[in-house]
Amino acid sequence: MKITHMTVESTKGWANIARREVAGKAVIGIRGDGAAGIFDLNVDTRDERSQQYAAARLQRELDGYQGTAGDVADYLRAVQTFAD
């Protein structure tokens, strides 16, 4: 099985997550519309810190508040689906 893209929805917005190439480098591309408006993130497929940052940003944008570690963990699993 191969997952090529994912859409995540919550109370304040949505985001599409997919693996793509930017300047010849594989990245996790995240584009959505959340509490603060439209956002676009390119996340390193091998850098866990950047994946954690992206998950926290996703949670904040889509839920509309700064969540706990458990809230962010759900988004981190979605992001890491596309990681190396």
Q: What are the pLDDT digits (tens) for 31-52?
A: 999 999 999 999 999 999 999 9
Mean pLDDT, range 5-16, rounded to an integer: 96
Closest CA to 47 of 30, 26, 32, 71: 26
Q: Is the pLDDT of residue 3 over 90?
A: no
Cβ count within 10 A of residue 11: 9
Domain ranges across the chain: 5-80
pLDDT digits (tens, 9 = 90+) for 62-84: 999 999 999 999 999 999 999 98
